[in-house]
């Protein structure tokens, strides 16, 4: 006999349904309750999960699966988030302050953005609602362009199609960090007590679109000098996201040839029908792009993620096409910036390769390591270039202090065209970097779970009894949760020897535990680079096996 539905849960669900302005989620909730009462275990579990507590608002804003209930992304949750953000901004004295509100092409993104604009306007702020789905970096650019006090982008970036999210920026153009996240969360809680209908709404706000895109395109195109080479052949995919149209505008304005495009993935589609996960890093995600690149004899292939804030690059390396790691592309872009004489501080996250720090020191540039995420990288004073290994790159910090997959794409085209004009390739430049600064091979272990308690248990195990050796070398362990003069506390562990380095941490945006591994070997001009790569590959395989055992997942 199936257990009865908890009466308190039933009351909460029906009260939520009665307050829900969205007929679709109200009907879905009715269906869940009916199935749960009929003994459907899956429906009961879903109902319990959806009402287990509010969706947590943190430094990544909100992100989660679509559906009814306080632990899901829906119009109720988004409206209360907008009301809390409004209260937060008004408490800071930003009456009538501008707030740009953008969105991607995911399910319900436009609806969530409209709800946000209406509630911000009703609270006495001055929202600017984007007139169409736009890349996240374009909206982030609009914060400074329109002199806004904050910005909101409704996006789940590269998450699965059933997810959506709510990203908040402050007036400096950077994503929120503590204590702003906790302060906004408190205001959201305060705004969530009464009926949703009590929240004031207004449709008195302007739409922005053409002017914003034109300003962004002009700024991006100005990054490429007039005399720079522009001849190359390239392949491109927008991965069913919103990047394609703006990429076309930027590339044309900068004078580069149009790409050969993956037509199956060129237009926005929230179902992401050709990929298992709409993330260029996931196995198979850029297979169509690689096939096209081979077919047209491309010099380089480029992929944006669905909201175009990330950029992935593939090229012929060691005789065949493959996607560059995030660290490899970071090194290429940093090396190019240093060759162009870009001054300022170079920065990357603690889970990225240590190569950038070596490069900066060798060239006399300041360098800093940050916590994971562009909310930290984008705030580095006098940032020249910043990146994180998860294919996020800040290529124009003064205009967009956040990851930007479109200006990064432009930097890649300029780099590859310059190499081609000199009779060189991406592989040649990578080899030059490896010989100059040492071979830094990086890899990642990622464990996706359905039960988040497994991540907590694995972190507890690795803290209490982490690996004593990695690839045969003794390691020194550092608990990143304790903090240091260089880094604030964060949930992670660092294991390091002279050759192997591993950082273990939970993902901030997905139900994953991640290990970031590096093998570092010195390379001299007289050494065979291929032999060094082979040795590094063997050490990496051992380190991956050691960490898999240590984590017990």
Give the Cα separation of 154 and 108 in Å (integer). 9
Q: Are 41 and 2 in contact (CB under 8 A)?
A: yes
296 in Cβ contact with 260 (< 8 Å): yes
* CA 370 – CA 65 distance, rounded (Å): 29
Q: What is 73-140 written as a DSSP string?
A: BSHHHHHHHHHHHHHHHHHTT-TT-EEEEEE-SSTTHHHHHHHHHHHHHHTT-EEEEESS---HHHHH
Structure tokens at 80: 């209360």
- Cα separation, 342 vs 142, in Å, equals 24
Q: Please, which residues have CB within 8 angstroms of residue 324's CB and are 6 or more apart in sequence?
A: 312, 313, 314, 315, 317, 332, 426, 430
Annotated active-site residue 157? The verdict is: yes
Alpha helices in 192-299 (DSSP H): 210-221, 244-254, 287-296
Say if residue 553 is exposed, middle or buried (CB neighbours under 10 Å; 0-12, 13-18, 19+): middle
Phi/psi at 411 (5° precision):
-60, -40
Q: Evaluate the omega torsion of the peptide bond into residue 467 and state whether it is cis, within 30 degrees of 0.
A: no
Supply the angle between the helices 7-19 and 41-50 in degrees, to the nearest 10: 70
Of the candidates 294, 347, 321, the one whose C-alpha atom is nearest the C-alpha of residue 426 is 321
Question: For residues 239 and 251, what is the distance between their CA atoms, to the nearest angstrom?
Answer: 18
Tokens describing residue 366: 């300041």
Distance CA 291, CA 262 (A): 9
Spot the catalytic one: 157, 244, 325, 497.
157
58-61: which pairs have CB atoms within 8 A and are 24 or more residues apart? 58/181, 58/185, 58/508, 59/175, 59/176, 59/177, 59/178, 59/181, 59/373, 59/375, 59/508, 60/165, 60/167, 60/175, 60/373, 60/508, 60/509, 61/165, 61/166, 61/167, 61/168, 61/175, 61/176
Indicate which residues carry an active-site annotation. Answer: 157
């Amino acid at each position: 006999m199936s257990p009865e539905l908890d009466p308190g849960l039933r009351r909460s669900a029906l009260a939520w349904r009665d307050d829900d302005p969205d007929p679709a989620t109200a009907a879905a909730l009715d269906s869940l309750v009916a199935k749960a009462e009929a003994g459907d275990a899956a429906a009961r579990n879903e109902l319990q999960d959806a009402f287990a507590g509010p969706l947590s608002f943190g430094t990544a804003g909100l992100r989660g699966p679509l559906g009814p209930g306080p632990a899901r992304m829906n119009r109720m949750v988004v409206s209360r988030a907008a009301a809390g953000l409004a209260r937060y901004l008004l408490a800071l004295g930003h009456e009538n302050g501008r707030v740009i509100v953008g969105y991607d092409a995911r399910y319900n993104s436009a609806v969530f953005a409209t709800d946000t604009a209406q509630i911000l306007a009703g609270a006495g702020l001055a929202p600017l609602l984007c007139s169409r789905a736009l890349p996240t970096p374009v909206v982030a650019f609009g914060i400074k362009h329109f002199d806004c006090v904050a910005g909101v982008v409704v996006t789940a970036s590269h998450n699965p199609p059933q997810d959506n999210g709510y990203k908040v920026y402050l007036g400096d153009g950077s994503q929120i960090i503590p204590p702003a996240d906790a302060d906004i969360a408190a205001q959201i809680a305060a705004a969530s007590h009464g009926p949703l209908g009590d929240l004031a709404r207004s449709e008195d706000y302007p739409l922005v679109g053409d002017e914003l895109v034109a300003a962004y395109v002009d700024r991006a195109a100005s990054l490429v000098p007039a005399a720079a080479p522009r001849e190359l052949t390239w392949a491109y995919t927008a991965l069913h996201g919103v990047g394609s149209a703006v990429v076309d505008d930027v590339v044309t304005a900068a004078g580069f040839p149009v790409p050969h495009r993956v037509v199956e993935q060129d237009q926005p589609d929230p179902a992401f029908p050709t990929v298992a996960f709409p993330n260029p890093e996931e196995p198979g995600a850029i297979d169509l792009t690689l096939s096209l690149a081979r077919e047209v004899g491309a010099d380089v292939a480029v992929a944006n993620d669905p909201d175009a804030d990330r950029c992935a690059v593939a090229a012929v390396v060691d005789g065949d096409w493959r996607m560059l790691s995030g660290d490899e592309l970071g090194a290429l872009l940093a090396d190019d910036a240093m060759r162009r004489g870009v001054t300022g501080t170079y920065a990357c996250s603690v889970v990225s390769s240590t190569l950038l720090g070596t490069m900066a020191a060798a060239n006399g540039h300041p360098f800093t390591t940050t916590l994971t995420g562009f909310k930290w990288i984008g705030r580095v004073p006098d940032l020249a270039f910043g990146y994180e290994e998860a294919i996020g790159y800040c290529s124009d910090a003064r205009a967009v202090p956040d990851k930007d997959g479109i200006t990064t794409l432009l930097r890649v085209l300029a780099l590859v065209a310059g190499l081609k004009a000199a009779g060189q390739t991406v592989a040649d430049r990578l080899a030059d970097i490896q010989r100059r600064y040492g071979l830094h091979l990086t890899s990642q272990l990622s464990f996706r779970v359905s039960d988040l308690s497994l991540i907590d248990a694995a972190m507890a195990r690795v803290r209490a009894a982490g690996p004593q050796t990695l690839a045969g070398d003794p390691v020194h362990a550092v608990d990143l949760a304790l903090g240091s003069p260089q880094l604030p506390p964060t949930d992670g562990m660092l294991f390091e020897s002279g050759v192997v380095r591993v950082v273990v941490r939970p993902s901030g945006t997905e139900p994953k535990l991640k290990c970031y591994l590096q093998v570092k070997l010195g390379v001299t001009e007289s050494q065979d680079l291929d032999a060094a790569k082979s040795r590094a590959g063997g050490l990496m395989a051992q380190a991956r096996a050691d960490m898999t055992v240590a984590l017990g997942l």
